[in-house]
Amino acid sequence: MSQWSIVFALCFVACIPKKKPGESPGMGNVAEGKACPPDNGLIDDAEDGNNGAKAIKGRGGYWYTFADDAGSTIEPTKGGTFMMASGGANGSQFAARFKGKVGGGKIVYAGAGVNFTEPRGPYDASQYGGISFWAKRGAGTGNVRLKVPDINTSDSGKICTECFNDFGADLQFTEKWTKYVVPFSEMKQLAGWGSPHPPAIDRTKIYGVQFQVNSPNQDYDIWVDQLEFTGCK
């Protein structure tokens, strides 16, 4: 069992009385998961209603959607302008939302993401310890993979020979807004494919954050809000 798994398990028992409604316990109480000041860690809270990330600490990319060419569908349309949806977490006005149906092929996926720079380029996130966000699902699957492309896994880095096996975490969204905190040290690549397989994410050169669904033949309706870096140094 990893160090973070032990911390999570202990805090799950000890911290339940202190946790806020809808918030997952554990990782927010360790150094890498602690909240940053809004003028430092905020990536996007969607409250301006547009498709741009917050212009903070050199960041300023845009939201987008992506999907396979094997039958998966997605709204907002791949390649179109991303529009925020009304009704965010904790009574806020807006959230990022994408929905559709995953195709039935062998390799199928759909998702949404936000880049940290425009034009897209690597961003130095070494001052941070991880990522946090609020999320929920509507009708359909809640199996979602958080992905953080870096210099070794993104095709933009021109290093990988089998790209897109990004460091991240497999999560299960529910119909209730819940806060998720994922330290960089807990992010893993998937086994069995991708090249290279470095020991850890290169947080000095990351490109953005993605949320991906790949459950074949499943409808999905995914909501994400209050996307932030955590663990400021």
Pair 12, 26: CB distance under 8 Å? yes
Mean pLDDT of the chain: 90
Residue whose structure tokens are 């600490």: 57
Q: Is residue 79 part of a domain?
A: yes
When divided into structural domains, the chain yields a total of 1
- State the CATH number of the domain containing residue 168: 2.60.120.430
Q: Is residue 2 part of a domain?
A: no
Q: Over the stretch 13-59, which tens digit does the pLDDT of each residue have?
A: 233 334 444 555 567 778 999 999 999 999 999 999 999 999 999 99
Q: Is residue 22 part of a domain?
A: no
Q: Is residue 17 part of a domain?
A: no
Instruction: With a cut of 60, say whether residue 9 has pLDDT above it.
Output: no
Domain holding 125, by residue range, is 35-230
Instruction: With a cut of 70, say whether residue 6 has pLDDT above it.
Output: no
Q: Is residue 25 part of a domain?
A: no
Q: Is residue 10 part of a domain?
A: no
Q: Is residue 12 part of a domain?
A: no
Question: What is the distance between the alpha carbons of residues 155 and 213, in angstroms, rounded to a whole number?
Answer: 20
For residue 71, count CB atoms less than 10 angstroms from its CB and return exposed for 0-12, middle for 13-18, buried for 19 or more. Answer: middle
Nearest to 41 by CA among 233, 180, 224, 230: 230
Q: Is the peptide bond before 122 cis (omega within 30 degrees of 0)?
A: no
Q: Over the stretch 87-117, which tens digit does the pLDDT of each residue have?
A: 999 999 999 999 999 999 999 999 999 999 9
Q: Is residue 78 part of a domain?
A: yes
User: Which 3 state secondary structure label does DSSP give 186?
Assistant: helix
